[in-house]
Structure formats: structure tokens, C-alpha cells
Structure 1
Amino acid sequence: MEIALVGIGKIAVDQHIPAISDNPDWELAATVSRHGTVKGVPAFTDFDTMLEERPEIRVVSLCLPPVPRFDYAQKAILAGRHVMLEKPPGATLSECHTLEALARKHRVSLYATWHSRQADKVAAAKDWLSDRRLRKLAIRWREDVRQWHPGQDWVFEAGGLGVFDPGINALSILTEILPVPVHLTGAELHFPENRDTPIAAQCAFHHPDGAEVTMDLDWLEPGTPTWTIEAETDTGHMLLENGGGTLTIDGQTHDARPGLSGEYPRLYAQMAELVASGGIDMDLAPLCHVADAFLLGRRIAAPRFDW
């Protein structure tokens, strides 16, 4: 299938383009970007022009920041194209619901991707937790924004999510591996005085069986990132590290691999299946937790942040 990739930034270059190139189901037939291109692939700077001039391209993958993404997704769906959304699927829950309704009306596939759910050991962690009673679970997602989003001011602008941009990866794993749903009960959000989104956050969740569930996010962590989910149960201890790439159960580590190993190839394999079956996958559970954090969170002033 021919696919157009919109937004040729770091994540597209590092993950999307290799995943498409290595998958026999896909052919990268066009790109849309104001600045980036891919050697040997027809490049457009205007999305409307691409839709008009390349009607044979039936699938569009959107790698834009969340705020402008709705307009692009809406245009693609109205043009009869199947749409794949980089995480988060939108800037608000309302626009995501609108896109899903529109996709159903026009009978096209729509996929809200959560790449961290495809990390190597997430499925094993889910299986291990499935029949155990949870007592405590702690998420620690700490990294350096200067390393992962150098100079990208949009992450600190309204709608950019701030530290929840990486934090939603942890939430996508949490909502995948727990056998029962949780909901947020409180949060402290640390906003730099010169920014619109938080640079750190601490969150607490309600678990139906009374387990203690917490999350600690920090975007000023120097050195090696910490991407861990640690769980204590009635019959053992689980540590999911490296963004889901490494699983340790009761002290025994299982096949440590890089956190992004296989994630985007599995996303594109899933998109191929959705297009073939006419399916839609718009799970919004991780974004619901982020929205709840902004609704319930207590704002705490933090020092200004400059690159």
C-alpha cells in the first residue's frame, strides 16, 4: 500500500521512515513537510496539494505536533484516506471523538497509535499482572527535555502537553498492563514561570482494589533517562524498565532490549491490518488521564526554563 508521511521531523526520521521501509506491506509514496524530505520520495510542502495530486495514495500517517493535527486528519478523512496518528492522537479528547465519528461516517480506518505499548516486554508484564492482586505500583518517567526535544518550543506551548508528552507513554503502558482500570485522583503540576505547560508532575490514582498507584514525571533529569514501572503484588515483584524494553520479575531479568526495539514496525503492521479489515482503533485512555491531571492538578510555580 502507498502511504504519505506528513511531518518529517526527528521521530519520523528515526522511527517512521525505517519502519515503513522495512515493511513489505508499505511503500512510502510521498512526504509533506515545510523543511524535511526523504531522498527519492516525492516531496510536497502543502497537504492539500498532495491530496489533490496523489489520489492513489490511500493512507496518511501524521507525525505533526498535536495542535495542528486535527485539521490534517479531518482533511484526509474527508478525502477518503485512512489515517494513522502519532501519539497523542490529538490536542483534546473532543477532537479525537470528532475524528472517530468522521472516520466511521466515511468508512475509513483510523488508528491512535501508542508506541510504548509495543515495547518488547509490555505484553509479558500484562500477562504477569493479569492474575495477581496489586498492592503498589509506581511510575518514574524522568528525562532531559533538552536531549529529547532540543529547541522545540511547541512542547511548552498550550496544547503541547509539556512533561506529559513523555508521560503519556507511561500512561499508555499503564492502561495496557493493568487488568482493571484506574482513574486519577490528584496531581501537582510544576509550571515554569515563562511556559504554558508543566515541566514536572506528580500524580495519584484510584485503584478499585485499594492499591497505591502513583506517577512521578520530570523533564529536567540529567544523564540517562529513567523510564520505569514498578509493581508489588501479593505474590511477587515486577520491574519494567527502559520504557518497556526490560522486564525483571523477583530479581530475574528477561531479555533486556532497547525500549524502542520493534515498536514502530509493530505499529505499521497493525495499521496494515486495520486498513485490510476496515477497522478503527481509537483507545483514548492515556489521554483521559492527562486531561484529568490538567483538570484536577494543583499548579505549582517553578523556575523559568530556557534552552
Structure 2
Amino acid sequence: MSEASARPIRLGLVGIGKIARDQHIPAINASPDFELAATASRSASVDGVPGYRTIEEMLAAGHDLDAVSFCTPPVGRHDLVSPAIAAGLAVMIEKPPAATLSEARAMTRAAEIAGIPFYTSWHSRAARHVEDARSWCAERQVSRIHVEWREDIRQWHPGQEWILEAGGFGVFDPGINALSILTAILPKSVVLSAATLDVPRGRGAPIAATLQGTSGDAAFSADFDFLQTGEQTWSIHLEDAAGETLSLIEGAGAMTLGGERQPASEDSGEYPHLYAHFATLVREGRSDVDLSPLELVADAFLLGEHRATEPFSF
């Protein structure tokens, strides 16, 4: 990347859906580190940027790319990412990194062999108060952890049938954001002991779930719901052995200590942080891979009691 270090990183973007338009493209356009050079999508494009239907067509077009960012659903991610790795391009992946652990590990190993930067991004880890919570946990003995992650699938994923198909993660698509924060802030690993998965009849992925387990001596529980209407809830509540409490609310965009809301510093947003980090990885030739949130979701599917619920339609 010696040549690329003197100019913006020429980026290809694969998958032009809601998350790409809402988050990735604004962050890329605002970044001094990147130039959006080409896109690949079966059904959409970006004005003023060369667009192709497949990643193979995009790579063959010769846009002198340095890196590729993937914003597609997790199913089939391995087949999409493999051509970019084979071409020697740095890779960034939207969460969750893949539909299966074996697929995620195969991509990671392929990137290691190819010697290219590989980044499994977790956007919620870039939320404003995650580092504050990590410091709080490091200084005390956490005794209780409870997650409430409830949102409206119709609001955030309108018409996205894939998310309730097998491999689409269902409620764990947002729920894995909470797990990505927990695995970043807790000094000890979360170990699941039980789970329930509520799957609508005719669907392949859960629309609600509960988890139970431990993190060291701390009791862990989580409530995930994709049918929350009205006010949305993205909260993580922590209590230490002395009874002191910390709550990450609004997806860790805000925080309370002892119930009192804490002042917030200015913040550029989660996706600008991700792309700034990816630029550093690309220029330094390093990777950043963490599959622990995906491992917890896999454990939930292995352990979970599957309960059939009423059919769901968008």
C-alpha cells in the first residue's frame, strides 16, 4: 500500500441496500481516506460511480481498487468475498461477518494466507460510551448483566424478507450489536447456559429470543424482540458487587451511572469511526478480526429451545 498511502484509498462497495445508503456511503463520502471508485449490486447503483451487477464484473473492470467493503446480507458472504481476497484487496465486512462460523473462519484464513488486511467490523463498538463502559468494568467486579434490545423490524428492515429466512439471523441481526458491545467491554467471556428462540410459523429465523449465562461470577441475561412498537429500546444494564450501576442506553450513545445521565462528548458517528479504523488497517497492512459475537449467536442456536409463534408478515 505504499503507493496508496499517498492518495485516497480506492474503494469498491458491494451491496447497495438500506445500510449502504444510510451509513456506508455517507461515511465514505465524508472521509478524506477513501474514494468510492466502483460498486457492485444486483439491483441498485450510486449516482456518478461506475456500477456493476457482480463483484467479478467490478474487479474485471480495472478501477485500480485498493479495498472492498461488503454490505450484503450474511448468507453467501464467503462466495462474494473470495474474489476480493484472491485479487489481493483489503476487505471490510458489515456485521454479522458471515452466516456461519466456518464461513467466517475460512475467509479469515484465506486473508491471512493472501497477506491482505481483513476487518470484521462491529459498528456498535464505535458507539460513544463503549470505552467508558469498558473502563468501568475493568475497575470493579461485575455481578449482574442484563440486555434489553427491542426494536421494530418493520421500521428498521421494511420488506427485508431475507432477515427472517434461515441464515438471516432474525432478531439476532440487531441483537448481535448488543453482544458485540458486551464482548468488547467485559473483562471475562460470556458463556451461555440457556436460550429460547421464538420463530414465527413459516419462517426460518427467530423474531424474539432470551439468553441466560455468566461472565465470570456475573449473571447474564438478555431479552431480544423484533416486534417492539413505539419507543425503541437498546440498553445494557450492569451492576457491580457493591450495588453500583451503569446503563448503556440508546445503543451506547448515552450512559447513566446510578441512574444519572452522564455528559456526552461530541462524536462523529459509528460508521465514520469504522472507516477511519479500516483506513489505518489498510495503510499499515493489518487485520482486525473478532468472531466472539457470532460465536454467542451460534451458541444460542445450538442451545436454544425453539418455540413456534404466530406467522409474521411485513
Q: Shorter chain as normaliser: what TM range?
A: over 0.9
Show the counterpart of 1:83.
Answer: 91
What do the CA deviations read for 1:4-45 (whole angstroms, capped 9, x no partner)? 111111110111011111110100111111222212111111
Alpha-carbon separation, structure 2, partners of 1:251 and 1:147 = 29
Judge conservation of contact 2:117–2:285 (CA < 8 Å) in 1: yes
Show the counterpart of 1:254.
Answer: 262
User: How much has 1:234 moved relative to structure 2?
Assistant: 2.4
Give the one of 265, 277, 284 matched to 1:277: 284
Judge conservation of contact 2:236–2:247 (CA < 8 Å) in 1: yes
SS at match of 1:154: helix
User: How much has 1:278 moved relative to structure 2?
Assistant: 1.1
Identical positions, percent: 49
Judge conservation of contact 1:119–1:261 (CA < 8 Å) in 2: no
Judge conservation of contact 2:16–2:41 (CA < 8 Å) in 1: yes
Structure 2 counterparts to residues 181-200 of structure 1, below 5 A: 181-200=189-208
User: How much has 1:257 moved relative to structure 2?
Assistant: 8.2
Structure 2 counterparts to residues 174-185 of structure 1, below 5 A: 174-185=182-193
Q: How much is the aligned-residue C-alpha RMSD, in angstroms? A: 1.4
Alpha-carbon separation, structure 2, partners of 1:61 and 1:223 = 33
What runs of 5+ residues in structure 2 fail to find an aligned partner? Answer: 1-8
Alpha-carbon separation, structure 1, partners of 2:62 and 2:77 = 20
Change (3 A) 1:219 1:298: same
What do the CA deviations read for 1:131-183 (whole angstroms, capped 9, x no partner)? 11111110000011011111111001110000000000000001011011121
1:229 aligns with 2:232: no
Alpha-carbon separation, structure 1, partners of 2:118 and 2:291 = 13
Change (3 A) 1:71 1:173: same
Show the counterpart of 2:6.
Answer: none
User: How much has 1:55 moved relative to structure 2?
Assistant: 5.1
Superposition misfits of 4+ residues, deviation over 2 angstroms: 255-258
Structure 2 counterparts to residues 1-307 of structure 1, below 5 A: 1-54=9-62, 56-209=64-217, 211-235=218-242, 236-255=244-263, 262-307=269-314
SS at match of 1:12: helix
User: How much has 1:261 moved relative to structure 2?
Assistant: 5.5
SS at match of 1:184: strand
Alpha-carbon separation, structure 2, partners of 1:213 and 1:59 = 38
What runs of 5+ residues in structure 1 fail to find an aligned partner? Answer: none
SS at match of 1:282: coil
Judge conservation of contact 1:245–1:257 (CA < 8 Å) in 2: no
User: How much has 1:207 moved relative to structure 2?
Assistant: 2.3
- The residue type equivalent to 2:274 in the other structure is L
SS at match of 2:182: helix
Alpha-carbon separation, structure 2, partners of 1:176 and 1:54 = 38
Judge conservation of contact 1:112–1:282 (CA < 8 Å) in 2: yes
Change (3 A) 1:90 1:257: farther
SS at match of 2:222: strand
Judge conservation of contact 1:142–1:226 (CA < 8 Å) in 2: yes
Judge conservation of contact 1:205–1:213 (CA < 8 Å) in 2: yes
Judge conservation of contact 2:67–2:90 (CA < 8 Å) in 1: yes
- The residue type equivalent to 2:80 in the other structure is Y
What do the CA deviations read for 1:237-277 (whole angstroms, capped 9, x no partner)? 1010000100111132123589x961000100111111111
Alpha-carbon separation, structure 2, partners of 1:184 and 1:296 = 8
Change (3 A) 1:261 1:221: farther
- The residue type equivalent to 2:223 in the other structure is D
Alpha-carbon separation, structure 1, partners of 2:116 and 2:255 = 37
User: How much has 1:224 moved relative to structure 2?
Assistant: 1.8
SS at match of 1:273: helix
Judge conservation of contact 1:8–1:63 (CA < 8 Å) in 2: yes
